């Protein structure tokens, strides 16, 4: 095996470890529902066992040692020696977490503090009474054997001065049933030195009385070798108990042998065949002490369809190329429109199918990067356990929609913000058990993590059933820190949003858990960096929910191409509810500049994009313009005034932050078919700046 190969195997081992750890976590979750499901226990055991097996192959001793200990304890439950209870499950989970840590450390070539392993081992021993050292640590079966491979260079067999052994061997019937074969064994023995085999056929009965299952032939083997007696006996390891065997150094008194000429040796195979034409011995002979095999059940984990491992860079390259393809296709289609070919011409038809194929390729390539959020959710379940332990709170963790698929990069970069928000929910959101009991709630709090797709985005909610945001306190803190003035009148939602302000912490003393120097503002900016948004909603006494909305992929967006004051902009289709002609709708003027649109669901603030971005002054006459009714993930709406709608198409997102910087109201940029750059509008951001509070105020004014 070459070095590069070994690296590949190593990488694939760690990849498999991820899957195995996931299966293990699934098993623990399943055990929480049914502690005594033996299939689950088998699956957990196998996962840990496989990790151990692979780790052994790569010489990861720490990992092997701990996995072995863990596995042995699991086995006590698997075999029914002891019964699992909630405490033991909790301990198993901790061990599972530690195993994950060990895998991660091994992957990076790090060492973990051995005390963590030792402490867990001790706990395991106490809890399960298993002593892994009793049944193992005996791997001496295949001590390296010095093999004499140089068969051509052996001395003559009969030289009496040679070192070697005289071996008497007689097979029992079971030997054949086990798939062993004297001929093969002798051939293997030949590797140790020069071998001379003599068969004793005196005991062989005539054909008509021959017992097919017994072997009446005995053999005397004369082996000239430098190998030790142990090495010689080792060759007979598999047939030990299936034969009578005597091994004596040459020169010692010989066992009685009936000599037979060496010419008989080539016919040995034939003799064997004659002796036992039916090699598969009757079942009774094989089966006597057979322990009952484990129940055979169907696969307990859904089998994945065939997969291949692909370097992420290759996929990235493909995605970039597809992006270019989409841009070129747009350019081509623009040029063709300029030529204005007759409808139904080959060119127009070709372009149409090209468009379709390009979009299918794009979809397919994007799907390659999509992966379920499940592994990330499982990591969060550990965060929950640790946070619960650190705060002495009882927490139940629920997940919803864990098979929702999101771009791999999005999933990876979401880990930190999610970790923070989950810690936040447990540390600040949930009350302690006594508090909860006093309020008539179950002592165990619940944190729910859910994922779902909605109109081309993925929504992730982190909700708790805690006390909700203490708005009075938040307001007070905000005033103390000079974030708002004392007179400021804020709606409940605005107060909740103060939590996202930099440097804000709703807890007076920095706790062990939250005192990591990051606040919700950091989590929020990480999410925004992904083109996502986060909002908070809270009901006093009933809990808080953080909602994160993310693009499915970081690369492509379905957008509406619009024009405002000769500038081309893109508005994400996912945000647009409907498009309207101002002529046909009711628009009210509020104050000097404010305008609202009345439609079925009430009043919606009107925002002129041309004015907002400073392209031109606000247009007084809306008649020749178009209105896009857009909605945020939180359900807030506003009406964007634009000059003209040009097209609807997929655009390739080019990050503005990476290349330039953040611009309010703009989420990214794209390259148009003619090579020009167009900015992508961020309706959510615009609504957040101008949205709800104004609407509610206006509502009051209008009604009053």
Partner 1 sequence: MTLRVLAIDDSRTMRNLLGATLRDAGYEVDLAEDGEDGLRHLDSFDPDVVITDVNMPVLDGFGFIEAARARPCDRVVPILVLTTETAPEMKARARSVGATGWIAKPFDEEKLVWAIERVAATGGSA
Binding residues for partner 1, rule: CB under 8 A, are 1, 5, 9, 12-13, 16, 42-43, 45-46, 49-50, 52-54, 56-57, 59, 68, 135-136, 138-142, 144-145, 147, 151, 176-181, 183-185, 187-188, 190-191, 235, 237-238, 241, 279-280, 283, 286-291, 293-294, 296-301
β-sheet bridge partners, residue 371: 406
Cα 54 to the center of its chain, rounded Å: 18
Cα–Cα distance for residue pair 571/703, rounded to 1 Å: 32
The answer to whether 128 and 88 have CB atoms below 8 angstroms apart is: yes
Nearest residue (CB) to partner 1, 43 versus 604 = 43
Three-state DSSP state, 543: strand
Taking the least distance from each CB to partner 1, the nearer of 294 and 621 is: 294
Going by C-alpha positions, the residue among 125, 108, 129 that lies closest to residue 117 is 125
Contacts with 227 (C-beta within 8 Å, 6 or more apart), sequence order: 145, 146, 148, 192, 193
Of 113 and 270, CB closest to partner 1: 270
Note the helical H segments in 138-266. 173-177, 182-189, 229-235
Half-sphere exposure of 64 (CA within 13 A, CB side): 11
Q: Which two tokens stand for residue 526?
A: 């990480």
* Other C-beta atoms lying within 10 Å of the C-beta of residue 290: 8
Nearer to partner 1 by C-beta: 177 or 358? 177
Instruction: Give the span between the Cα atoms of 702 and 699, in whole angstroms.
Output: 5
Min separation Cβ 242 and partner 1, Å: 8
Cβ within 8 Å of residue 190, ≥6 positions away: 151
Q: Which is nearer to partner 1, 117 or 276 (CB)?
A: 276
- Smaller CB distance to partner 1: residue 182 or 559? 182
The structure tokens listed for 673 are 């078919």
Rounded to a whole number of angstroms, the minimum distance from the CB of residue 92 to partner 1 is 17
Q: Which is nearer to partner 1, 290 or 703 (CB)?
A: 290
Q: Which is nearer to partner 1, 57 or 246 (CB)?
A: 57
396's enclosing H/E stretch is strand 395-400
Complex with partner 1: residue 240 or 472, whichever CB lies closer: 240
- Beta strand 395-400 pairing with 457-464: unpaired
CB of 26 to partner 1, least distance (A): 13
What residues does 557 pair with on adjacent strands? 651
Residues 6+ positions from 512 with CB-CB distance below 8 Å = 390
Residue 232 CA, distance from chain mean position: 49
Q: Which is nearer to partner 1, 13 or 377 (CB)?
A: 13
In the bound complex, what is the minimum distance in angstroms from residue 134's beta carbon to partner 1? Answer: 9
DSSP 581-630: -GGGSEEEEETTTEEEEEETTEEEEEEEHHHHTTSSPPPS--TTSEEEEE
Q: How far is the CB of 40 from partner 1 (least distance, A)?
A: 12
Q: Which two tokens stand for residue 633?
A: 């993930």
At residue 406, the 3 state secondary structure works out as strand
User: Which CB atom, from 5 or from 161, has the smaller least distance to partner 1?
Assistant: 5
Shortest approach of partner 1 to residue 393 CB, angstroms?
Answer: 37
Please, which residue, 50 or 505, has the CB nearer to partner 1? 50
Q: What's the closest the beta carbon of residue 84 comes to partner 1, in angstroms?
A: 19
Q: How far is the CB of 36 from partner 1 (least distance, A)?
A: 19
User: What is the DSSP secondary structure assignment for residue 76, as one 8-state letter?
Assistant: H
Least separation in angstroms between CB 243 and partner 1: 13
Spatial neighbors of 683 by CB under 8 A, at least 6 apart, are 571, 572, 575, 576, 630, 631, 632, 638, 640
Cα–Cα distance measured from residue 658 to residue 276, given in angstroms and rounded to the nearest whole number: 78
Minimum distance from CB of 187 to partner 1 (Å)? 5
Shortest Å, Cβ 245 to partner 1: 14
Q: How far is the CB of 223 from partner 1 (least distance, A)?
A: 14
d(CA 586, CA 460): 36
Q: Give the residue with the Cβ less far from partner 1, 277 or 614.
A: 277
Least distance to partner 1 from the beta carbon of 73, Å?
15
Count Cα neighbours of 130 within 13 Å in the Cβ-side half-sphere.
25
Of 279 and 598, CB closest to partner 1: 279
The half-sphere exposure of 133 on its side-chain side, counting CA atoms within 13 A, is 3
Give me the count of residues in the chain: 704
Closest approach of Cβ 46 to partner 1, in Å?
Answer: 5
Whole-number minimum distance, CB 107 to partner 1, in Å?
13
- Helix (H) or strand (E) run with residue 438 in it: helix 433-438
Closest to partner 1 by CB, 125 vs 300, is 300
Pick the closest to residue 557 from 567, 571, 547, 568 (CA basis). Answer: 571
């Amino acid at each position: 095996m070459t070095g590069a190969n070994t690296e590949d195997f190593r990488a694939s081992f760690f990849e498999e470890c991820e899957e195995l750890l996931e299966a293990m976590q699934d098993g623990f979750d399943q055990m929480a529902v049914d502690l005594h499901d033996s299939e689950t226990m088998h699956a957990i055991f196998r996962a840990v066992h496989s990790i151990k097996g692979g780790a052994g192959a790569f010489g990861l001793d720490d990992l092997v040692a701990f996995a072995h200990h863990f596995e042995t304890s699991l086995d006590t439950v698997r075999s029914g020696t002891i019964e699992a209870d909630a405490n033991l499950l909790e301990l198993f989970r901790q061990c599972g977490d530690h195993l994950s840590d060990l895998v991660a450390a091994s992957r990076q070539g790090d060492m973990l503090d051995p005390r963590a392993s030792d402490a867990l081992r001790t706990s395991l021993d106490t809890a399960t009474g298993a002593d892994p050292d009793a049944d193992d640590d005996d791997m001496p079966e295949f001590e390296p054997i010095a093999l004499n491979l140089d068969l051509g260079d052996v001395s003559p067999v009969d030289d009496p001065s040679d070192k070697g052994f005289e071996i008497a061997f007689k097979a029992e019937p079971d030997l054949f049933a086990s798939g062993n074969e004297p001929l093969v064994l002798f051939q293997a023995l030949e590797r140790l030195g020069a071998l001379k085999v003599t068969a004793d056929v005196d005991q062989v009965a005539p054909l008509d009385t021959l017992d097919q299952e017994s072997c009446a032939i005995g053999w005397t083997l004369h082996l000239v070798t430098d190998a030790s007696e142990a090495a010689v006996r080792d060759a007979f390891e598999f047939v030990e108990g299936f034969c009578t065997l005597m091994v004596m150094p040459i020169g010692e008194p010989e066992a009685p042998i009936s000599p037979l000429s060496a010419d008989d040796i080539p016919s040995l195979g034939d003799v064997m065949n004659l002796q036992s034409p039916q090699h598969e011995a009757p079942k009774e002979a094989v089966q006597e002490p057979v322990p009952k095999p484990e129940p055979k059940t169907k696969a307990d984990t859904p089998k994945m369809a065939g997969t291949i491992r692909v370097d992420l860079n290759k996929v990235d390259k493909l995605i970039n190329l597809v992006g270019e393809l989409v841009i070129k296709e747009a350019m081509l289609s623009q040029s063709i429109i300029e030529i204005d070919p007759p409808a139904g011409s080959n060119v127009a038809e070709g372009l149409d199918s090209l468009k379709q194929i390009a979009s299918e390729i794009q979809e397919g390539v994007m799907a390659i990067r999509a992966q379920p959020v499940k592994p990330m959710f499982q990591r969060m379940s550990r965060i929950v356990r640790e946070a619960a332990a650190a705060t002495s709170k009882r927490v139940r963790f629920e997940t919803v929609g864990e098979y929702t698929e999101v771009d791999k990069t999005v999933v990876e970069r979401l880990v930190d913000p999610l970790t923070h928000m989950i810690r936040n929910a447990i540390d600040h959101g949930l009350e302690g058990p006594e508090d909860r009991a006093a309020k008539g709630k179950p002592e165990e709090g619940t944190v729910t993590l859910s994922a779902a797709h909605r109109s081309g985005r993925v929504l992730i909610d982190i909700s708790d059933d805690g006390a909700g945001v203490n708005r009075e306190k938040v307001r007070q803190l905000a005033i103390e820190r000079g974030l708002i003035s004392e007179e400021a009148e804020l709606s409940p939602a605005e107060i909740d949003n103060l939590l996202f302000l930099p440097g804000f912490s709703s807890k007076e003393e920095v706790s062990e858990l939250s005192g990591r120097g990051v606040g919700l503002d950091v989590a929020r900016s990480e999410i925004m960096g992904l083109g996502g948004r986060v909002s908070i909603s809270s009901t006093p006494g009933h809990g808080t929910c953080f909602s994160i909305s993310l693009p499915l992929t970081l690369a492509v967006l379905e957008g509406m191409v619009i024009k405002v004051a000769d500038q081309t902009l893109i508005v994400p289709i996912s945000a647009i509810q409907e498009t309207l002609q101002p002529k046909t709708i009711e628009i009210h003027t509020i104050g000097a500049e404010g305008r609202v649109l009345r439609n079925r669901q009430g009043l919606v603030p009107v925002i002129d994009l041309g004015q907002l971005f400073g392209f031109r002054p606000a247009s007084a006459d809306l008649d020749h313009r178009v209105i896009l009714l857009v909605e945020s993930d939180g359900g807030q709406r506003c009406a964007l005034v634009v000059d003209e709608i040009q097209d609807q198409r997929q655009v390739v997102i080019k990050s503005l932050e990476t290349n330039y910087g953040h611009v309010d109201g703009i989420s990214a940029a794209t390259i148009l078919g003619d090579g020009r750059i167009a900015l992508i509008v961020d309706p959510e951001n615009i609504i957040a700046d101008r949205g709800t509070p104004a609407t509610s105020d206006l509502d009051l004014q209008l009604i009053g």
